[in-house]
Chains A and B, each alone.
Chain A
Amino acid sequence: MDKKTQDTDRLDPVTFEVLKNSFITSVDQMAEQMLRTCYSFVIYNRDFSNALHDAEGNSVAQGNQDIAVHVGTLHFTCKDVIRVFSGEMLPGDVYAINDPYAGGTHFSDVRLVRPIFDDDDLIGFSQSNGHWSDLGGSVPGSFDVSARDMFREAVRITPVRLFRAGEFCHDVANMIAQNTRDPASIIGDIHSQAGATAVAEREIQRLVRKYGKDQVLQGMREVQDYVETAVRNRIAALPDGEWETVDYIDRDPAKGEGMIPIRIRMTIKGDRITYDFEGSHPTISSIYNSAPGATFSAVVAGMKTFFPDLPLNSGFYRMIDIKAPENSVVSAAWPVAVTGFLMPFEKIMNAIFEMWSQIMPDKAIACAFNLEYLLAGGRDLRSPEKPIFMFYEWLPGGWGGRNGKDGSDVTTACFGTGLMSQPNEGNERVNPTRTVEFQILRDSAGPGKWRGGAGVQKTSILLDSEDAVMSYICDRERAVVWGIEGGLPSMPHGLSIRRSGEKEAKWLGSVFSDYPVHTGDEFARPTAGGGGYGDPLERDPQAVCDDVASDYVSLERAAKDYGVVLKELDADLCEFEVDLSATEKLRGEIRAKRKQWARMPAEDVAILYRKGEIDSLDAVRRYATILDWETGELLEKTTAQFRESFERRTVSHWT
């Protein structure tokens, strides 16, 4: 795989450039077709990817708008299809696979793979990967956070044939579809994805007619070499060295408090780069585990962020080595539950952001919010037939503050920046829910010289329904989104529910499943902002003033987090003014006390919280203390872990 193409038979530069662009265009055409013909709303909202592969299954081109989470996994599933069907493939065949233990991501991501032939010669593959609305298992949408193994999660599809020489294999397709809650969509998506793979087949065959098979095959090799060369050159130009960090998953639900570490040591030596996960925690008893394929993908996606201009293909993967302890949260094996792999995925990605921020300060970025995912299902009483409904949805949030620039406000999670958020009017039409608010959440952004991007809050009411249950898949209720270079964390994730007829809302936290809900219940989901970059006391007071005028930041937190004192001139005109001398004075006071605050005995902080004298933002940002946000009970081990990171990323940068 490492062998470079011999120079002697290289393509001329024009043919190379033409083939390279044509490969990418063919993949983008697949994406376009998929978007227009798909059935699963998750695919419609862009949770999909497409690729062209060479005859060995290596990626030749991946789509420009593919979501990050699929990057670096498509070649694994293509190779597994080859392993199973080698020697018996026919033109017009299409295979399916969704196996995370063979390099896939999770069961919901089903890949259709089509061999491409020139007469009798197999010359490559096209692959279309889409997140299907349901794949069976114990809960609607196939995300049961309490699953311990795959038998409760979903249908595992090891490579199977869905089309034989152009003929649709009803038997196999129906068997898969009838094991899901949404068989009509599943059959529809099979046709949509098979149609998409045919688009690339047609394009590659056209290229073969024009340039000849040998040149096209040579082009497939050379585009991989091309990316490899570019990445190697850039890595070789960086100084050799070692960087390390740790990020956490909130907890193992079957164990006591204490966060689950993912440790990464990154080594650059010459033109190679190694990521070593030694010291990462063993697999945990929820679905928040990652199989090796998904971990590889997280590394590639994190790194690709620092090489945004390069095309994606297997050439990018050749200089990366990964070492991970067996059966750890980052290398789970069959049959450990892995559907929530995107929780470790995002930790790895943000950890890589942190390390590369030191290597490439002009691209530095603090931690982004964590994906949250709500799934509710039951019977919709708005129509007499009481149809089953499945409401599931993810929200955007804030990305980390940057070097010289605030973080991106309300953007999809970093695991899949291509993913779109869903229209409320669509939600309300299809599901018995009504949105009460969907807006930017004031004070959600992690304070910093360059603040994080803002998160949102969505609050909805469950309308006429019965037998409804809700699951919530989220994290960073405790491993709160962090700042770097002295920047502050944002806020804890977690859902609250206000029962019909009750006044007070109850905090349910960031992970639960099968929670019964009833008509009239109101549930509120905030998403965190990004972590701050740099010392918030160095933020330009005028920028804080603008944030208050735009209501991104409250007057109160402008003072607490930034030490900026503002006067309201005219609320109707949104006019505020900075009180410079009061600001200078307040900043001095905060500067004098803040290290003590961050090291204050955590039990004292818990008492203040329970008395209602401080809120969760104070606890996290000022006192670096993590509590059970419902009871106010101190989480001692978690706080110790949190404080260790806080000292390193934040306190040590304060002057």
Chain B
Amino acid sequence: MEHTRVAVDVGGTFTDICIMDETSGAIRIEKIASTPDDPMRAIMDGIEIGKIDLAGVSMFSHGTTVATNALITRNLPRCAMICTEGFRDVVEIRRANKEDLWDTYKDVAKPYIPRRDRLTVRERVDAEGKIIEPLDEAGARRVGEILKKRDVKSVAICFMNSYVNPENERRMRDILKEIMPDIAISISAEIMPEIFEHERFSTTMANAVVSPVVVDYVSRLSERLKEEGYERDLLLLHTGGGVMTPNAVRDFAARLAGSGIAAGAIASRFIGNLCGYPNTIGFDMGGTSTDVSVSYQGESRITKDWYIEYGFPIRFPSIEVLTIGAGGGSLAWRDEGGSLRNGPQSAGAYPGPACYRNGNEIATNTDANLVLGRLGTTLAGGKLTLDPALSETAVRSTVAEPFGMELHEAAEAIIRVANANMANAVRLLSISRGYDPRDFALCAFGGAGALHGAAVAKELSIPTVIVPLNPGVTSALGCLLVDIQHDFSDSFMKPVASTRPEELETAFRRIEREAMAQLKHEGVADSDMILSRTVEMMYKGQWRSLQVPAPAEITDIGELVKAFHAHHQREYNYAREDAEVSLFRVAVKAVGVVPKAELQKHPVERHRPEPTGQRQVWFGNKGHEAAIYQRDDLKAGAMIDGPAIVEQFDATTVIPPGMSAEVDGYFNIRINTQG
């Protein structure tokens, strides 16, 4: 009988394996060094070390960086693109803008498919979808023969206006398949059927180039897991916040780009919902960067404006995550204008903070935390000892002396700048989107999240901080708790005034059929399918649309318009109720529900636990005697008043003076920032 669920989150440094017993809901964790040359090795090693019997596993889910890394390192097989004649440079011209406007020596990267591998054929569809020129079949065959000679592994077919009429793209695919039956082919009308050629071509290009890499990896892993006794489908976490099966990966490989980042956002959403906070801000602070995400009323915020490399959008709906260069290893520095700065440069894992003894002499956030006593002198259960004297020297020379400050004052200044930068990042995703942080809980995780979480929350007036049981492996938990999910959309460009409800209903039904076919293809039973609709709308004349949930049956467009005004009011602080509204796109999220297991819940008995020690910890330029607790000893119901420090294997939780904390039934620490 299968009774175990396994989730694997492969990161750059560590591969985290989360093993859940379905009957009890208990979770155990394995952490192994990643094997970047072949990530599968660490996974299989972890399975062995964790003594996981794959025959007893009912669900194996996986967050992977394979696609992301392939795009970043450009370690890609030779791929080609076939375009309408005259348009082979769409992905090179892009929108012609730059990420850094002022530094003339910083360029945007070249496209994933170089110019010489972008070929053209004669064909043309007009803006209304009429075929003005049919595909030149002889030319198409000639292109196919050239690509065969070049031995390309994957091809993107990208024709103008194919989003209104895919016929020529499909014909091109059929011809190419005859010539090269074994290669992967991505056609833009099916990958991303939406207007604006660069965004559609770029998404299709990303899909084409990662496809061979990802499909190879997923097939090998599936095969191996099968050999070891796992009988179900391997489930892969995608950026939209759901999982997909290897069958779907073949078609939409680029949905796996950014998979790892999504995991943390999903986990914080899940933990928030579990604790009764449908509004949660995910705060995942690691060694070099912090990922911030927002979930509102139980749903993650989704964006279609994202990319792995600037200039090459991937338009699959993706969980919105804002990454800033602030982590434990971020360096403090005094710039030439005399300002105290923090990051984005980082000491990284090596040489790391000054206290790691690897030769770095510039103060990092970790050094400042150590000087302030917020961090203990040992980490990772004693595997790593830190040298506070080196941290002191670094803080003195980097900040205290240049600014004429006392040691602790300087260390606190470093932390306050870091916290303010992170608070600004949270503000960009919350206040500037019309969300009031006071209605949210902050879920703090990652190696350094719990060190800074309470102070950042206080800065933003967020009343509650949740520190999950295993802050260092929270992302793996995210992989464990998701459903199969796909997103389908279609253009629907029409003013509201001339749209009949039936037309909109028909448009939705068409993509819903497509969505259900996809879920069926992945073995989801009809009764486990949940479809939810959204429609994108705008004031007539605006250039960006806003997504509004739509009912399962459209009978009254007026209701949608009302919802649109309300969304516009919340998001932008004004609405124009007298202005005309237009429809832009219809979209369906198709979910194949995976039966959920429940996390283990312990009875809560309120009590005051005994600290295991005490040390001096600095807050507000004052030394405080803070109680030290060991996380593993804390039971549900444990109540702690700040100042206090909770230490555990992969994280340290700071409870500042004036705040209190309690351990809940899931062993989360909940800090009340109001006292």
Minimum CB–CB distance for A312 against chain B, Å = 9
A-chain residues with CB within 8 Å of residue B571 when the two chains form the complex: 36
Q: In whole angstroms, how far apart are the Cα atoms of A489 and B195 in the complex?
A: 37
A421/B93 in contact, CB under 8 A: yes
B-chain residues with CB within 8 Å of residue A459 when the two chains form the complex: 86
B336/A188 in contact, CB under 8 A: no
- Whether A440 contacts B340 in the complex (CB less than 8 A), given A21-B424, A185-B541, A573-B150, comes out as no
- Whether A13 contacts B542 in the complex (CB less than 8 A), given A25-B427, A439-B88, comes out as no
A438/B101 in contact, CB under 8 A: no
Interface membership of chain A positions 497-511, coded 1 if the CB is closer than 8 angstroms to chain B and 0 otherwise: 000000000000000
Neighbour of A410 across the interface among B93, B101, B337, B574, CB < 8 A: B93
Minimum CB–CB distance for A524 against chain B, Å = 12
B541/A184 in contact, CB under 8 A: yes
Neighbour of A434 across the interface among B126, B417, B579, CB < 8 A: B126
A301's closest neighbor in chain B, by CB? B102
Minimum CB–CB distance for B634 against chain A, Å = 33
- Interface centre among A18, A185, A198, A573, by most chain B C-beta atoms within 10 angstroms, is A18
Neighbour of A14 across the interface among B98, B114, B116, B416, CB < 8 A: B416
Interface membership of chain A positions 585-607, coded 1 if the CB is closer than 8 angstroms to chain B and 0 otherwise: 00000000000000000000000
B-chain residues with CB within 8 Å of residue A435 when the two chains form the complex: 86-87, 160
For the complex, is B115 an interface residue (Cβ under 8 Å from A)? yes
Q: In whole angstroms, how far apart are the Cα atoms of A18 and B339 in the complex?
A: 10
Interface membership of chain B positions 398-439, coded 1 if the CB is closer than 8 angstroms to chain A and 0 otherwise: 000001000000000100110011001001100010000000
B195/A425 in contact, CB under 8 A: yes
Q: In whole angstroms, how far apart are the Cα atoms of A417 and B311 in the complex?
A: 14
Q: In whole angstroms, how far apart are the Cα atoms of A361 and B574 in the complex?
A: 50
For the complex, is A373 an interface residue (Cβ under 8 Å from B)? no
A18/B416 in contact, CB under 8 A: yes
Spot the interface stretch: A137-145, A285-293, A401-409. Answer: A401-409
Neighbour of A424 across the interface among B103, B197, B543, B572, CB < 8 A: B197
Spot the interface stretch: A37-45, A89-97, A324-332. Answer: A37-45
Minimum CB–CB distance for B111 against chain A, Å = 11
- Interface centre among B97, B126, B341, by most chain A C-beta atoms within 10 angstroms, is B97
Q: In whole angstroms, how far apart are the Cα atoms of A77 and B96 in the complex?
A: 29
Minimum CB–CB distance for A343 against chain B, Å = 20
Neighbour of A46 across the interface among B97, B104, B540, CB < 8 A: B97
B90's closest neighbor in chain A, by CB? A438
- Whether A37 contacts B542 in the complex (CB less than 8 A), given A438-B93, A439-B86, comes out as yes
Q: In whole angstroms, how far apart are the Cα atoms of A14 and B428 in the complex?
A: 20
- Interface centre among A25, A41, A552, by most chain B C-beta atoms within 10 angstroms, is A25
B543/A39 in contact, CB under 8 A: yes
A-chain residues with CB within 8 Å of residue B107 when the two chains form the complex: 408
B105/A573 in contact, CB under 8 A: no
Q: In whole angstroms, how far apart are the Cα atoms of A230 and B420 in the complex?
A: 23
Those of A377-413 within 8 Å (CB) of chain B: 396, 399, 402, 405, 408-412
A17/B572 in contact, CB under 8 A: no
Q: In whole angstroms, how far apart are the Cα atoms of A192 and B574 in the complex?
A: 9
A229/B93 in contact, CB under 8 A: no
A405's closest neighbor in chain B, by CB? B105
A-chain residues with CB within 8 Å of residue B102 when the two chains form the complex: 68, 304-305, 307-308, 417
For the complex, is A610 an interface residue (Cβ under 8 Å from B)? no
Spot the interface stretch: A27-35, A112-120, A249-257, A644-652. Answer: A27-35
Q: In whole angstroms, how far apart are the Cα atoms of A550 and B114 in the complex?
A: 8
For the complex, is A582 an interface residue (Cβ under 8 Å from B)? no
Q: Is the interface of B mostly helix, strand, loop or mixed?
A: loop
A14/B572 in contact, CB under 8 A: no
For the complex, is B601 an interface residue (Cβ under 8 Å from A)? no
A19's closest neighbor in chain B, by CB? B420
Q: In whole angstroms, how far apart are the Cα atoms of A65 and B95 in the complex?
A: 14
B336's closest neighbor in chain A, by CB? A230
B414's closest neighbor in chain A, by CB? A14
Neighbour of A551 across the interface among B115, B161, B337, CB < 8 A: B115
A408's closest neighbor in chain B, by CB? B107
A402/B96 in contact, CB under 8 A: no
- Whether A188 contacts B579 in the complex (CB less than 8 A), given A39-B541, A308-B102, comes out as yes
For the complex, is B38 an interface residue (Cβ under 8 Å from A)? no
Those of B250-287 within 8 Å (CB) of chain A: none
Minimum CB–CB distance for B306 against chain A, Å = 15
Neighbour of B432 across the interface among A191, A199, A309, CB < 8 A: A199
For the complex, is A613 an interface residue (Cβ under 8 Å from B)? no
A-chain residues with CB within 8 Å of residue B169 when the two chains form the complex: none
B-chain residues with CB within 8 Å of residue A429 when the two chains form the complex: 127, 195
Interface membership of chain B positions 540-579, coded 1 if the CB is closer than 8 angstroms to chain A and 0 otherwise: 1111101000000000000000000000100111101001
B572/A37 in contact, CB under 8 A: yes
For the complex, is A227 an interface residue (Cβ under 8 Å from B)? yes
A37's closest neighbor in chain B, by CB? B572
Those of B195-214 within 8 Å (CB) of chain A: 195-199
For the complex, is A226 an interface residue (Cβ under 8 Å from B)? yes
For the complex, is B92 an interface residue (Cβ under 8 Å from A)? yes
Minimum CB–CB distance for A102 against chain B, Å = 26
Q: In whole angstroms, how far apart are the Cα atoms of A552 and B116 in the complex?
A: 10
Interface membership of chain A positions 87-107, coded 1 if the CB is closer than 8 angstroms to chain B and 0 otherwise: 000000000000000000000
Q: In whole angstroms, how far apart are the Cα atoms of A67 and B102 in the complex?
A: 10
Q: In whole angstroms, how far apart are the Cα atoms of A439 and B342 in the complex?
A: 43
B98/A417 in contact, CB under 8 A: yes
Those of B286-342 within 8 Å (CB) of chain A: 335-342
For the complex, is B89 an interface residue (Cβ under 8 Å from A)? yes
B-chain residues with CB within 8 Å of residue A549 when the two chains form the complex: 116
For the complex, is A541 an interface residue (Cβ under 8 Å from B)? no
For the complex, is B539 an interface residue (Cβ under 8 Å from A)? yes
- Whether A226 contacts B337 in the complex (CB less than 8 A), given A37-B544, A426-B196, A549-B116, comes out as yes
Q: In whole angstroms, how far apart are the Cα atoms of A184 and B581 in the complex?
A: 13
A399/B543 in contact, CB under 8 A: no
Q: In whole angstroms, how far apart are the Cα atoms of A411 and B108 in the complex?
A: 9
Neighbour of A13 across the interface among B413, B543, B574, CB < 8 A: B413
A-chain residues with CB within 8 Å of residue B150 when the two chains form the complex: 572-573
Minimum CB–CB distance for A426 against chain B, Å = 6
Neighbour of B195 across the interface among A36, A402, A418, A423, CB < 8 A: A423
A396/B542 in contact, CB under 8 A: no
For the complex, is A363 an interface residue (Cβ under 8 Å from B)? yes
**Can you name 6 A-B pairs with beta carbons within 8 Å?**
A43-B543, A188-B576, A363-B104, A417-B101, A421-B93, A438-B90
Other A-B contacts than A14-B416, A18-B420, A22-B424, 6 sampled, CB-CB below 8 A, are: A195-B574, A198-B573, A229-B336, A417-B98, A424-B197, A429-B127
Nearest 5 pairs between A and B by C-beta?
A437-B86, A396-B96, A44-B543, A308-B102, A420-B95
A residues sitting closer than 8 Å to B (CB atoms) are: 12-14, 16-18, 20-22, 25, 28-29, 32-33, 35-39, 41, 43-46, 64-68, 184-185, 188, 191-192, 195, 198-199, 226-227, 229-230, 233-234, 304-305, 307-310, 363, 365, 396, 399, 402, 405, 408-412, 417-421, 423-426, 428-429, 434-440, 456, 459, 549-552, 572-574
